[in-house]
Structure 1
Amino acid sequence: MEHHFWSTVLDLCGKTTTVVGSHLMGEAGQSFTEQKSDGSLVTVADRWADQELRRGIAAIFPDHGLLSEEGAHHFPETDWCWIIDPIDGTTNFSHGLPIWCIALGLLYRGMPVFGYVAVPPLHQVFHGFYQAPGHGDGAYLNQQPIQCQPGVPSHQAFFSLCARSISLLKRPFPCKIRMLGSASYNFLTVAAGYTLGAVERTPMIWDIAPAWPIVHGAGAHWASLESLDKLDPLSVKNVPDIFPLKFGESYGDRSYHTLVSASSELAAIFLPYIRDSVTQ
């Protein structure tokens, strides 16, 4: 894969998310909100951003497939496919809380190889490569390399969880807890070294695909927790069963219980707490 291809990919992501992000910053806390059939929120701004991102990608890569939260959910029969989430953290966005993202993932033959997540309110841009054709692995925040920071769980270290995982708190947890309201950003806190771990109970494919290459590029550990009762904490899988995605299948109604940790050793420490919270 030529270097020019990846330069074009980065340029496309940078330009489109800058334009979309600038518009969304003016809409945050003001955009009209609706409730979708699954109970999640969607705003007029979500739909506008989805159209703008899809239009920008199609103009540069017309032969690439596209799958998005607000658009098509069936994985297309193309070698290259973009998976986008126009606003990850819509509830935060709709209330004006400044933790929401514009997330794009690029898959090659069903595997996420490039991720780009812009966080306009925080002036942060994450991107990363993992097993991408013609490009080395790595993760970056505002163009600077980042790596996860394995450490020892303590009340001076953070663990981030989603609202559906608060049952973890039924017994003392070995880290301080943070709850951020954006699945992508939740995962990326581990990649950036802010947290030792993060769990999401029901992330969708558009939450996972953009963060996957960045998290792996930063050296973090990713575990699919679909069968918690069968998992051995010392042999947590590092590759979830969902990849590679399969041509023609719909991914719009599937969620994937996920734990991201700064190391496999930390995953082994955190997993029993998560298992207990699910089985209680």
Structure 2
Amino acid sequence: MDFREFEDFAHRLADAAAAVTLRLFRGSLAVDDKGATGFDPVTEADRGAEAAMRDLIAAEYPDHGVLGEEFEETRSGSGWRWVLDPLDGTRSFISGIPLWTTIIGLEKDGEPVFGLVDQPYVGDRFWGDGSVAYRRDRFGGGGALKTRPCAALAEATLMTTTPEMMPDAASLARYESVEAEARLVRYSADAYAYMMVAAGRVDLVVEAGLKPYDIVGIIPILRGAGGFVTAWDGGPASAGGHVVAAGDRALHGEAMRRLSA
């Protein structure tokens, strides 16, 4: 199979999701709460975008598995699995803030091999295969992505969705030890934060409580741009959980030492 075929197909998936999300963004929208202990919103945009992508996958690659946020997993008969977050940043979406994205990942035998992150309202699309990564915008700009050098935490821009996502006091204390040393800290960009690492605008992202569909599609883009992404203890990030991503190897190491202490 020509891998470029999967790249082209991922763009089709993103277009199908965008046709749903753009129609509903900043419109009248019912919001359900699927959280057991806290507010965890889901909307018809989340479900509709994932359903549209699943329909395309079933038609084109019926032996591929699908893991998504909103529906039951479809098991793979081929070793290929699509990992979908149809609307990452639902809280931003329902608040009318265009920092939500669609995340599309592709795994082969459990290894992330391609990712695409799309923000159709702004017009930003990012994609990569672990060796190269690209961005395009609605104005015809973009090109290859490249992280920027930043070896010291004291010089770094750090992002996280919110410190409230830290699941316990120990995790929060480790995160705060990183935040206290960073030059600039920003919150609430979800997957967009990782894309700004890939684009050389942000240096470090530290998060916890992630699911595979939050991170699988991000990993090949970051790696393709020259970045580093692992679990806090240095293990693979593809299962989610506690994740640290950096554009510079030295910075990644400094953050990881604090987070795994």
State the TM bucket, normalised to the shorter chain.
0.7 to 0.9
Alignment of 1:131-280 (within 5 A): 137-142=131-136, 144-153=143-152, 157-163=156-162, 164-165=165-166, 168-169=175-176, 172-182=180-190, 184-225=191-232, 231=233, 237=234, 239-240=235-236, 255-274=240-259
SS in 2 for 1:96: coil
Residue 26 of structure 1 and its aligned partner are, at CA, apart by 2.9
1:162 and 1:201 in contact (8 A); partners too: no
Deviates more, 1:46-55 or 1:22-31: 22-31
2-structure distance, mates of 1:82, 1:222: 20
1-structure distance, mates of 2:150, 2:208: 24
Letter in 2 for 1:219: G
1:91 and 1:181 in contact (8 A); partners too: no
What is the alpha-carbon root mean square deviation over aligned residues? Answer: 2.4
* Unaligned stretches of 5+ residues in structure 2: 137-141, 167-171
Higher normalized strand content (fraction of residues): 2
**Equivalence for 2:15:** 18
Percentage of identical aligned residues: 27
* Unaligned stretches of 5+ residues in structure 1: 131-136, 226-230, 232-236, 244-254
2-structure distance, mates of 1:74, 1:56: 14
2:198 and 2:227 in contact (8 A); partners too: yes
Aligned residues: 244
**Equivalence for 1:32:** 30
Give me the TM-score of the superposition, normalised by structure 1.
Answer: 0.78
2-structure distance, mates of 1:241, 1:141: 22
How big is each residue's C-alpha offset from its partner over 1:47-102, in whole Å with a ceiling of 9 and x where there is no partner? 11110010112222122111111112475453111011110111101111110111
Give me the TM-score of the superposition, normalised by structure 2.
Answer: 0.83
How big is each residue's C-alpha offset from its partner over 1:222-269, in whole Å with a ceiling of 9 and x where there is no partner? 1212xxxxx5xxxxx3x51757xxxxxxxxxxx410000112210232
How big is each residue's C-alpha offset from its partner over 1:18-55, in whole Å with a ceiling of 9 and x where there is no partner? 24314312312432111114442111111111100101
